[in-house]
């Protein structure tokens, strides 16, 4: 057994050396002032280059990471290793497979998921509807990649490793190599989409410890941290004096927490600042504050109130408050219409599923039964749309079918994508 362990360690060390050497060779022509030190839990210091003719993501070495399961903990045992855990069924497994297959079939050759042109992959006689916003390819692509990563597909493992690698390459091309920013500066949802892309890079790095991914993830985390509003959280646009947005702040917190757990540099004081803002703006009374209520439903805010406290290890003010939040969510369970359309926006279903999974017990069982039923009955079953979900709800209708489908898959992955975080005392 010791011999086998030593062999595995030696093989892992060899892969690290190969990856590191490949990366340094790619970056050799760059000047010293264009590099940034990135310390990851693999214990390496690597360099990131400037944007130019030879992006490191144009090279095959991005796929040189060591395919190994993520560490257990708040992010759980992904790579599909936990699919057999209670919470799913043969029907939900098939639904996830159908959703991922639909996403694969609607990915562009350059790696993106085009929010408003994805139907070009369909035959003219049977084109999907559900167009999203033309300027949201970055966020749409990030969500699609999260769905694949959650099912265990990486740059080296899984049925859809080619699609993951292609998507990551496209994301990296959208990143300013100097600033770390994903997307154009004039994007009206700059920080929202940047936070999603940052989360993807942090998860992809956590799966592989690839030094190129480490550099990209660290730079994007640094930009995210530098882009906070004065209250410690984030607006959607990143413009001066823009209103702080709960949804954007949620994805940003998720990205920072994942980066920190992956061994990247994140100041814990920043997480505390974000937690303080969330406490004030997503938890009041029953957790139904009116802040940002124009874009975030009260149901979603209640789910985030439960979820953020668990993520940040902040105990509820009282046990009654937690019970009231749970009761409120159980009063707004996922349901679907007869026309195969979700009744509520899928982002609420996702946040609610993650929050209720953390609560566990009978509350999770009740929510999960309703969620699975609603998703299974609303998933499209025929034609070019088979495997996707109709975009319904205030957010899905503007983001489109790719967004809705990625969120539907993410909902059904919750019970094996994440581990339960110990309840704060």
Residue 394's domain is classified under what CATH number? 1.50.10.20
Quote the number of domains for the chain.
1
What's phi and psi for 46, nearest 5 deg?
A: -120, 170
Q: Which domain does 306 fall in, by range?
A: 39-51+77-417
Report the alpha-carbon angle 219-222-227, nearest 5.
125
- Does 97 score more than 70 pLDDT? yes
The predicted pLDDT at position 255 comes to: 96
HSE-CB at 132 with a 13 A cutoff on CA atoms is 25
Find the mean pLDDT for residues 140-149: 97
Please check the confidence at residue 7 and state whether its pLDDT lies above 90.
no
Report the alpha-carbon distance of residue 217 to residue 204 in Å, rounded. 9
pLDDT at 394: 62
Query: What is the per-residue pLDDT for 55?
Result: 33
**What is the predicted pLDDT for the residue at 322?**
80
Q: In the block, which residue shows the tokens 């940052």?
A: 198
Q: With beta carbons less than 8 A apart as the criterion, state whether 221 and 265 touch.
A: yes
Distance CA 348, CA 25 (A): 45
Q: What is the pLDDT of residues 278-325, one digit of tens each?
A: 777 765 444 444 444 444 567 877 888 888 888 887 666 555 678 888
Q: What is the pLDDT of residue 38?
A: 38
pLDDT at 327 over 70: yes
Our CA angle for 76, 77, 80, nearest 5°, is 125
Residue 238 lies in a domain: yes
Is 357 part of a structural domain of the chain?
Answer: yes
Q: What is the pLDDT of residue 404?
A: 94
The answer to whether position 30 is within a domain reads no
**Residue 172 reports pLDDT greater than 50:** yes
pLDDT of residue 337: 63
Residue 377 CB neighbour total at 10 angstroms: 14
Residue 323 lies in a domain: yes
Mean pLDDT over residues 414-421, rounded? Answer: 88
pLDDT cut 90: percent of the chain above it: 49
Q: What whole-number distance in Å separates Cα of residue 390 and Cα of residue 378?
A: 8
Residue 6 located in a structural domain: no
Return mean pLDDT, the chain: 78
- Residue 12 is predicted with a pLDDT of 44
* Contact status, residue 209 vs residue 40, Cβ threshold 8 Å: yes
In a domain, 7, yes or no: no
- Both tokens assigned to 269: 């004081």
> pTM surpassing 0.75?
yes
List the one residue out of 157, 153, 159, 147 whose CA is nearest residue 113: 147
Predicted pLDDT of residue 318: 56
Integer Cα distance of 423 and 309 in angstroms: 9
In a domain, 207, yes or no: yes
On the CB side of 84, how many CA atoms lie within 13 Å of its CA? 1
pLDDT score of 313: 77
Of 373 and 339, the structure prediction assigns the larger pLDDT to 373
Whether 116 is covered by a domain: the verdict is yes
For the cut 80, the answer to whether the pLDDT of residue 166 exceeds it is: yes
């Amino acid at each position: 057994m010791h011999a086998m362990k030593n062999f595995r360690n030696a093989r892992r060390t060899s892969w690290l050396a190969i990856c590191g050497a490949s990366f340094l060779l790619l970056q050799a022509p760059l000047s010293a002032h264009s590099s940034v030190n990135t310390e990851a839990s693999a214990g390496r210091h690597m360099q990131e280059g400037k944007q130019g003719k030879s992006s490191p993501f144009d090279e095959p070495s991005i796929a040189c990471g060591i395919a190994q399961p993520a560490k257990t903990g708040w992010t759980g045992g992904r790579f599909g290793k936990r699919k057999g855990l209670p919470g799913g069924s043969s029907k939900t497994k098939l639904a996830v497979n159908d959703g991922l297959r639909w996403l694969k079939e609607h990915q562009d050759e350059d790696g993106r998921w085009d929010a408003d042109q994805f139907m070009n992959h369909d035959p003219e006689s049977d084109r999907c509807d559900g167009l999203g916003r033309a300027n949201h390819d970055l966020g749409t692509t990030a969500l699609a990649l999260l769905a694949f990563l959650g099912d265990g597909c990486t740059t080296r493992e899984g049925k859809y490793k080619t699609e993951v690698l292609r998507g990551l390459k496209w994301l990296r091309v959208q990143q300013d190599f100097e600033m770390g920013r994903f997307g154009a500066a004039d994007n009206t949802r700059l920080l929202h989409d940047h936070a999603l892309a940052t989360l993807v890079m942090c998860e992809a790095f956590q799966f592989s410890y690839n030094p190129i991914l480490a550099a990209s993830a660290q730079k994007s985390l640094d930009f995210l941290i530098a882009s906070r509003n004065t209250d410690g959280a984030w607006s959607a646009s990143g413009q001066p004096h823009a209103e702080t947005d709960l949804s954007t702040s949620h994805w940003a917190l998720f990205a920072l927490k994942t980066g920190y757990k992956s061994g990247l540099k994140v100041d814990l004081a920043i997480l505390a600042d974000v937690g303080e803002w969330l406490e004030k703006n997503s938890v009041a009374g029953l957790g139904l504050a009116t802040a940002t209520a124009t874009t975030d439903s009260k149901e979603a805010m209640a789910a985030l109130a439960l979820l953020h406290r668990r993520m940040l290890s902040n105990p509820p003010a009282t046990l009654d408050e937690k019970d009231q939040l749970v009761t409120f969510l159980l009063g707004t369970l996922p349901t679907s219409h007869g026309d195969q359309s979700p009744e509520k926006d899928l982002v609420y279903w996702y946040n609610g599923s993650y929050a209720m999974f953390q609560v566990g017990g009978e509350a999770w069982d009740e929510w999960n039964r309703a969620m699975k039923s609603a998703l299974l009955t609303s998933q499209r079953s025929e034609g070019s749309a088979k495997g996707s979900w109709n975009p319904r709800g205030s957010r899905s209708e503007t983001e489109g079918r790719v967004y809705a489908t990625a969120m539907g898959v993410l909902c059904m992955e919750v019970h094996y994508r994440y581990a339960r975080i110990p309840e704060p005392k």
